[in-house]
Amino acid sequence: MEPIFDLQNVSYTYLRKFEALKNVTVSFYPGEQVAILGANGSGKSTLLSILNALTYPTSGEFYAFGTRVTEEMFDTLQDNEFNRFFRKKVGFLFQNPDIQLFCSTVYDEIAFGPLQLDLPPDEVQKRTEDVICMLGIENLRDRAPHMLSGGEKKKVSIASILSVGPDILLLDEPSGGLDPRSQTWLIDLIQDLAKCGKTIITATHDIGIVEQISTRAIVVGEDHTIKVDADSASVMGNRDLLISANLIHRHTHRHGTLQHEHFHSHSKNHDHTH
Amino acid sequence: MIPDWMQKIEARACPCCSVSSTKKKSFVQKAISDILTFFEECLVNDAIARRKGLFQSLDPRVKVVSIIFLIFALAMTHDIHILAVMYAFIFLCAWASSIEMWFFIKRVWVFIPIFAGIIVIPILFNVFMPGDPFFVLATLAPNSHIGPISLPAEIAITYQGINVATLFVLRVACCVSAAVLLFLTTPRNLLFKALRSLKVPKVYILTLDVCYRYIFLFTDMVRGFYMAKKSRSLKVLPLVEEQKWVGSRIGYTLVKALGMSEKVHLAMVSRGFNGDIKILHQYSIKNRDYVACVCFFSIGIVMILASWNMLTI
């Protein structure tokens, strides 16, 4: 099977001196659910940004759908078929929904993508309504995006990319800032989309959801290189790897008079036996 | 429940295409990348301020006072030779402060054609400044005029015009070089605090400091806006649409900035801020600072006296 994304020795450096990715060679295949794991600042978001052709490697080569991606393909005023194909095919959920949402109402936000596909107006309306209904955000339809709560903004952001109908979803910390119910809703949504054959690549440091949303896990170390690329279950079972990648840490705490110590991840509540 | 249209996976192969690298870039992309480049250079500048060098080792207050006096003296000087020597002297200071010469030249001369060059162009011509012709551009009919302005028989660039223009550009170059030298070798926070030594009101210093802190945050946000739009843009929008989008984002940035300023103020209040601005001063003037201060003032005074023929060198 041909990879949809193929990175060959890709490195990226911010401001000519801060390294974000170092010699990354990795491929992604259609229909996969992949989790990219790493501590804060390891380069997960940069990797997703490169996969979405928003950032271009400082060195190395990035191929999407068999075509080498270069800045000229996306940053010129010239309209080109590859750009349209790529943007239709790949949806990117940003970590910060305030950045992602740029229209004046939630409805306009969701309709933005279908409108650009040059679909007939009734089809645009149908798609927008379908997505609003699917995500259960009917009550937000006419609200201004910047007036919504964090969880609502996240839902609208997801809706805004799903309305284009992308086959590949790049999700940057999708569970960040969500309450437990919204998090469960998100996991269910990702699983449903995966069943439809969507390729879902999720960058996260929330290891609690990894096995539920992915079958393959890539660990990016704090040195900005790929440490491991294996199936999610084996990665989650490798405690030493998770500690070295700063994804879990030893934690001592107290329950009444009982003090004990165990490992847990940074970002979630956790269950454990005493 | 996922709608049917969303469940379809497109099997169409990727269209091969080639895009010429000479095509014009989007103006939004260009503007944002230029702004980011500017801020990028600001970050690099802080790295220069942390290096070991002549100016970096001086007290910020001494630097501010000395450079301001030097700029005053340069503005009072009307001798090209003295200005040329001063330009070389500032270069020497930059070299002694571990600043790359080419970088320093670029920082200074990037603004001079814009601010000084345009102003000085009319002075070159005898229409605005009569003098001995250096190069005749055109010969006109007798008694030619544009509206009420009568024109000379020949339009020419004059020796006197060239002299005045050179003097003006050189003076601007010296003043800008001195200011750039100060900015490059002093961390922003210390520079702002040093302004207190010139009795600049505290409120302005705090405002400058907060602006500098948050401008990076907002730049990053603006870049995020563009990236988010780009990731969802399937086709090139008409210029008017792009301009509308830029307008809406400017408005949104203003709304965010206002919201954030309120929150920042509340955060300051929660940590004890009651409207009275307190700035921590921890400076200690060393002997070399006194020496540097005396040197700069002496150079400035000598320069003024020599320029006004009150001192012969």
Looking at chain A, the number of H-run helices and the number of E-run strands are 11, 12
pLDDT of residue A34: 97
User: Is B16–A134 a contact, with Cβ atoms under 8 angstroms apart?
Assistant: no
pLDDT of residue A114: 86
**Which residue would you say has higher pLDDT here, A163 or B207?**
A163
Q: What was the pLDDT predicted at A212?
A: 93
Q: Give me the residue from A66, A102, A193 closest to B229, CB to CB.
A: A102
Of A85, A100, A133, the CB nearest to B14: A85
Closest CA to B180 of B82, B61, B300, B71: B71
**Strand partners for A76:** B25
Least confident piece of the model among A49-53, A175-179, B60-64: A175-179
- Model pLDDT, residue B126: 82
Structure tokens at A193: 């989309």
Assign 3-class secondary structure to B161-209.
Answer: HHHHHHHHHHHHHHHHHHHHHHHHHCCHHHHHHHHHHHCCCHHHHHHHH
Q: What chain B residue is nearest to A63 in terms of C-alpha separation?
A: B14
Q: Where are the domains of chain A?
A: 30-43+80-265
**pLDDT tens digits, B155-209:** 888 898 899 999 999 999 999 999 999 989 988 777 887 887 778 887 887 788 7
Residue A268 confidence (pLDDT) above 60: no
- Chain B CA closest to residue A104: B248
CB contact under 8 Å between A94 and B224, yes or no, is yes
The residue of chain A with its CA nearest to that of B21 is: A72
DSSP 8-state code for residue B26: P
Residue A118 has what pLDDT? 80
Contact B228 A64 (CB under 8 A): no
The helix/strand/coil state of A76 is: strand
Average pLDDT for chain B: 82
Nearest-CA neighbor of A11 among A53, A44, A60? A60
Which chain B residues touch A172 with a CB distance below 8 Å? none
To the nearest whole number, what is the mean pLDDT of chain A?
86
CA-wise closest residue to A79 among B28, B23, B27, B246:
B23
Fold of A30-43+80-265: Rossmann fold (3.40.50)
Specify which of A67-81, A92-106, B63-77, B103-117 reaches the highest per-range mean pLDDT: B63-77
> In this complex, which of A76, A91, A102 lies closest to B225 when CB atoms are compared?
A102
Out of B5, B25, B225, name the one closest to residue A165 (CB): B5
Alpha carbon distance A66, A62 (integer Å): 9
Q: CB-based contacts of A201: which residues, under 8 Å, 6+ apart?
A: A28, A32, A33, A34, A36, A48, A51, A168, A169, A170, A171
* Confidence band of A179 (pLDDT split at 50, 70, 90): confident
pTM over 0.90: no
Sign of CA pseudo-dihedral A168, B15, A4, B7: positive
Q: Which of A231, A246, A67, A200 is nearest to B18 (CA)?
A: A67
Query: What letter represents residue B288's amino acid?
Result: R
CB of B255 closer than 8 Å to CB of B247: no
Q: Are A119 and A127 in contact (CB under 8 A)?
A: yes
Rounded to an integer, the average pLDDT of B17-36 is 63
Q: Which long-range contacts (CB under 8 A, 24 or more apart) does B204-213 make?
A: B205/B277, B205/B279, B206/B277, B206/B279, B210/B264, B212/B188
pLDDT of B313 strictly over 70: no
How far apart are the CA of B111 and the nearest CA of chain A, in angstroms? 23
How large is the C-alpha radius of gyration of chain A? 20
B24, B33, B41, B234: best mutation site toward chain A, by most A Cβ within 10 Å? Answer: B234
Chain A residues closer than 8 Å to B26 by CB: 75-77
Q: What percent of chain A has pLDDT over 90?
A: 50
Helix, strand, coil distribution of chain A in percent, nearest 5 = 40, 30, 35
What pLDDT is recorded for position B278? 65
pLDDT at B24: 58
| ipTM value for the complex | 0.73
**Which range is most confident: A139-148, A161-170, B27-36, B116-125?**
A161-170
Cβ contact A74–B23 (<8 Å): no
